[in-house]
Chain A
Amino acid sequence: MGYQFTKAEAERMFEKWGSQYDVFAPKLMEGEGCFSDTDVVRYGKVTSLDEIVWDRKSDYSLKEVLLAINETLFYFTEDKTTVPEGPQKDILIFLRSCDLCAVQRLDEIYLKNGYEDFYYARVRKRVKFILMGCKTSCASGFCVSMGTNQARQYDAYVKVDNTQKVVYADIKDKVLKAFVEGGKEIEVTPDYVTENVEKVNLPKNLSNKSFENTIWQEYGDRCIGCGRCNFACPTCTCFTMQDIFYKENAKVGERRRVWASCQVDGYTDMAGGHSYRKTQGERLRFKVMHKIYDFEKRFGYPMCVGCGRCDDICPEYISFSNCVNRLTKEEAEHEK
């Protein structure tokens, strides 16, 4: 049901949500950007609507809330293993349509695809999603091309009006709705974009033959294999297992999983020295094909949600959307 609140009413509701939930939203981290004197917008705990960054896309996605960059799976003590406790409170995540669509992809890998992941599942089942609309398109996103511009699986939608005086909300979830006090019932439809600056046409006839396209070599020559695209991507889910032990007591240690990148050396290394996809070109091909072809072949829909973060973050200015568009064009020409 839709509501129109005054800002004060909305903040009061937000405060009540905060008593029940840990609220995560895109937040401005001043001076914490990669380079000196730069800011970054990434997910963190917030306590008021004002703390949320509404006017631009977050540099990193919501996946940091669901999947820690480095997560302790268990502790070793002598011959016992102890699993750390999961989150103690339920969680609210403010996110945009592209990211909410990305959650479906994360669920596909972590809740399905063979086994259910214990750690992801115990966080995921505590999470509710609050959609932030997009009145205008961000510069690099191509959500319309990917069909991710209008996510409907939200628990609530919240919009702070430009004047900062009025807040609109569409609250579907019963528990969240119970905190509503005051406000005026009106029809509220989430803002969503119907056109992006960037448009992407997905190739129709990819196959193992597409490996031979020279585009991979060309883009690979520019790629420095830093893996930033993977870490900014809301749908990249790879990790590596890592054991560590403590210097103070070598009998005690922990097994962790840490985010991994298919673009970085070591990703395919096997004991004994064998590895696959040794060039950046091959790695780039692996990533691009996964996002727009391989995932779809397995699960029925493309992995990429068109958020454009990989383009924003690449230090070599490699554009994923350009790469895909060129691939589409060239593969179509090869067909002829």
Chain B
Amino acid sequence: MKNEYIPQLSTIKEVIRHTDVEYTFRMEFTGEVKPGQFFEVSIPKFGEAPISVSGIGDGTVDLTIRRVGKVTNEIFETYVGEQLYLRGPYGNGFDLSEYKGKELVVIAGGTGLSPVKGVVDYFAKHPKEAKKVTLIAGFKSFNDILFREDFAWWEKEIEVIQTVDNAPDGYLGNTGMVTKYIPDLQLADIENTAFICVGPPVMIKFTVMEILKLQVPEKNIWVSHERKMCCGLGKCGHCKIGATYICLDGPVFNYVEGKELLD
């Protein structure tokens, strides 16, 4: 019987620094993995933290980590050539086939872009597989912008609206919350749309409200929930909401189901 709790050592192949507190760690990994899934990442003696997959490469997975807790603080002390412990991937992840042939709008707030980045990567590489792809990504300020190199090539392939909440006078980019850009979306056929919304709980709440104002059916919206997932295996109970285990049944939910997940 497999002991799912035993992590495997994985070498850090590359570190991409986005901001002072957010880095992407490109980790050695072979196996099936989908965007939106997560790994339990650990450093012996400091503990484990659930981190979502922010990119999938040949023999690698990207884990974008924000320095906010005990484990993630420690991870920042570890660099290229060193190793981290991984187990996973866990969770359902995004099912790309749900979005193919549709007008896809991805709305992400801050680090919320990480779990959905694999979806954006895929459709930016294969733009013809969707009718149209739009990314609305919001960050607190210019200094908080993640994945700058990726934005540069995404902009050539898909529609990208990058916005910051606050900017000094004279800032040339977009400003304001992501919700500001939703009413202006040009959608040819509301029925044939797919919206993905990932970010902090408050951002999800207001973003979905805006999307619904466009008369988009609830079933065309997907959200990703964030919870403390200690085990990732449906055992520890920390991520349970009602009858749902976020680690097993999610973290990605169609809004029809996702809206019932109240806490």
Q: How far is the CA of A272 from the CA of B42 in the complex (A)?
A: 17
Given the complex of chains A and B, what is the CA–CA distance between A290 and B201 in angstroms? 23
B186 is an interface residue with CB less than 8 A from chain A: no
Which chain B residue shows the least CB distance to A114?
A: B234
State in angstroms the CA–CA spacing of A114 and B46 once bound together.
26
Given A240-B236, A262-B237, does the pair A121, B1 have CB atoms closer than 8 Å? yes
Q: Which residue of chain A has its CB nearest to the CB of B234?
A: A114
Asked whether, in the complex, the Cβ of A272 is within 8 Å of the Cβ of B66, the reply is yes
Find out whether the CB atom of A238 lies under 8 angstroms from the CB atom of B45.
no
- How many residue pairs bridge A and B at CB < 8 Å? 125
A290 to chain B minimum Cβ distance, whole angstroms, is 7
Tell me if A's interface is mostly helix, strand, loop or mixed: mixed
Interface assignment of A314: CB less than 8 Å from any CB of chain B: no
**Complex Cα distance A103/B164, Å?**
53
A297 to B71 alpha-carbon distance, docked (Å)? 35
Q: What are the interface flags for B220-240 relative to A under an 8 Å C-beta threshold, 1 for contact and 0 otherwise?
A: 000000111011011111101
Measured CA separation A286–B227 after assembly (Å): 15
Partner of B243, one of A116, A267, A294: A294
Contact B45 A76 (CB under 8 A): yes
A114 and B248 contact, CB distance less than 8 A: yes
User: Does B44 lie at the interface of the complex (its beta carbon under 8 Å from any beta carbon of A)?
Assistant: yes
> Closest chain B residue to A83 by CB distance?
B3
Closest 4 CB pairs of A and B: A271-B69, A238-B237, A114-B234, A272-B68
Chain B residue at smallest Cβ distance from A266: B228
Q: Are A118 and B238 in contact (CB under 8 A)?
A: no
Check if A109 is an interface residue, CB within 8 A of chain B. yes
A14 within 8 A of B: no
Cα A211 to Cα B227 with chains together (Å): 20
* B7 and A109 contacting across the interface, CB-CB below 8 Å: no
Q: Complex Cα distance A122/B2, Å?
A: 11
In the bound assembly, the distance between CA atoms of A152 and B25 in angstroms comes to 54
The reply to whether A115 and B262 form a contact with Cβ atoms under 8 Å apart is: no
Q: Please determine whether B45 and A237 come into contact, CB atoms closer than 8 angstroms.
A: no
New contact pairs (4) apart from A238-B237, A243-B46, A262-B237, CB-CB < 8 Å: A118-B5, A119-B3, A272-B68, A272-B69
A274 / chain B contacts, CB cutoff of 8 Å: 200-201, 226
Whole-angstrom CA separation of A118 from B235 in the bound complex? 11
A118 x B236 contact (CB < 8 A): no
Name the CB-closest residue of B to A297: B243
Contact check, B260 vs A208: say whether CB atoms are below 8 A apart: yes
A240 pairs with B230, CB closer than 8 A: yes
Q: Which of A116, A243, A267, A297 contacts B1 (CB 8 A)?
A: A116
B245 within 8 A of A: yes
Would A115 and B68 count as touching, CB distance under 8 A? no
Q: Does A260 contact B (CB under 8 A)?
A: yes
Give how many B residues have a beta carbon under 8 Å from the other chain's beta carbons. Answer: 44
Indicate whether B77 reaches chain A with its CB closer than 8 angstroms.
no
Question: Which of B7, B9, B238 contacts A238 (CB under 8 A)?
Answer: B238
Q: Identify whether the interface residues of B are mostly helix, strand, loop, or mixed.
A: loop
A250 CB to nearest chain B CB (Å): 8
Which one of A76, A243, A290 has the greatest number of beta carbons of chain B within 10 Å?
A: A243
- Per-position 1/0 for B33-63, Cβ under 8 A of A: 0000000001011111100000000000000
Q: Does A295 contact B (CB under 8 A)?
A: yes
Minimal beta-carbon separation of B92 from chain A (angstroms): 11
A122-B4 Cα distance, complex, nearest whole Å: 13
Q: Which of A241, A267, A293 contacts B47 (CB 8 A)?
A: A241
A69 at the interface (CB under 8 A from B): no
A267 lies within 8 A of B234 (CB)? no
Residue contact B72 to A270, C-beta cutoff 8 Å: no
Please pick, from A74, A115, A208, A271, the residue contacting B234 in the complex, using a CB distance under 8 A. A115
A243 to B43, CA, bound (A): 9
Q: Does B184 contact A (CB under 8 A)?
A: no
Residues of A within 8 A of B227 (CB): 268, 270, 276
Contact with B along A105-134 (1 / 0, CB 8 A): 000011001111111011000000000000
A109 / chain B contacts, CB cutoff of 8 Å: 234-235
For B263, the chain A residues whose CB sits under 8 A away are: 268, 276-277, 282, 286
Residue with the greatest number of chain A CB neighbours at <10 A, chosen from B3, B47, B49: B3
Chain A contacts for B6, CB-based, 8 A:
73-74, 81, 83
What are 6 A-B interface contacts by the 8 Å CB criterion? A109-B235, A117-B235, A238-B238, A255-B44, A255-B48, A268-B238
Q: Which residues in window 1-37 of B have CB below 8 A to A? A: 1-7, 9
Interface membership of A326, Cβ < 8 A:
no
Is residue B242 contacting chain A, with contact meaning CB distance below 8 A?
yes
Question: Distance in Å from the Cβ of B245 to the closest Cβ of chain A?
Answer: 7
B83 part of interface (Cβ distance < 8 Å)? yes
- Given A239-B236, A270-B226; A289-B4 close (CB under 8 Å): no
